[in-house]
């Protein structure tokens, strides 16, 4: 009986959602994490042409661990699940992102992330690309 009630509730919620009866304002605890059209260094967000492909993964960096210098060929939304990461954007400076921070990562600007905290850092990385597009390209470290 309890299972039938659960299924009924799920069906009603789906129907309400599909019918437009439920809107974002109904979610009282919803809060913006990111709204905008530029990356963290001011680049306009540009989607690659082609068939859309979204790839989401969780990147874990141990204390002191680095991503290595790289850049992105597709927009990347990052959300820090736990810990902190400091990203060096070269001439654009550095930024530290802590748990709960959401950001659109730089695309054409080469950068390197490093866990500057004392605990593991976990970042949800959502690549918004297209079939055949290269989401991340490794780049040699800049000369000192």
Q: Where are the domains of the chain?
A: 1-28, 31-138
- The whole-model pTM stands at 0.78
User: Which residue has 């001011």 as its token pair?
Assistant: 42
Report the run of H or E that residue 115 belongs to, with start and end: none
Q: What is the mean pLDDT of the chain?
A: 86
Output the six-digit token pair for 21: 């009866």
Sign of the Cα torsion 108, 109, 114, 117 reads negative
Please report, for residues 87, 88, 98, 114, 132, the alpha-carbon distance to residue 95 in angstroms, rounded to integers and kept in the order given: 5, 7, 10, 11, 30
pLDDT digits (tens, 9 = 90+) for 84-137: 999 999 999 999 999 999 999 999 999 999 999 999 999 999 999 999 999 999
Contact 103, 72 (CB under 8 A): no
Q: What pLDDT sits at residue 5?
A: 44
Please tell me the distance from the alpha carbon of residue 96 to that of residue 98, in angstroms, as a whole number: 7
- CATH class, domain 31-138, is mainly beta
pLDDT digits (tens, 9 = 90+) for 55-93: 999 999 999 999 999 999 999 999 999 999 999 999 999
Please tell me the number of Cα atoms within 13 Å of 114 on its side-chain side: 9
Q: What pLDDT sits at residue 99?
A: 97
């Amino acid at each position: 009986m309890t299972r039938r009630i659960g299924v009924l509730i799920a069906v009603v919620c789906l129907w309400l959602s599909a019918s437009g009866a439920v809107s974002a304002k109904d979610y009282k605890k919803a809060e913006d994490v990111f709204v905008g059209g530029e990356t963290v260094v001011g680049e306009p967000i540009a989607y690659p042409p082609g068939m859309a492909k979204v790839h989401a993964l969780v990147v874990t960096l141990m204390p002191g661990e680095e991503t290595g210098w790289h850049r992105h060929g597709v927009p990347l939304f990052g959300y820090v699940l736990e810990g902190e990461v400091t990203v060096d954007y070269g001439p654009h400076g550095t930024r530290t992102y802590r748990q709960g921070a959401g950001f659109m990562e730089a695309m054409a600007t080469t950068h390197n992330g490093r866990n500057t905290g004392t605990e593991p850092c976990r970042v949800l990385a959502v690549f918004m690309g297209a079939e055949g597009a290269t989401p991340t390209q490794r780049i040699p470290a800049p000369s000192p």
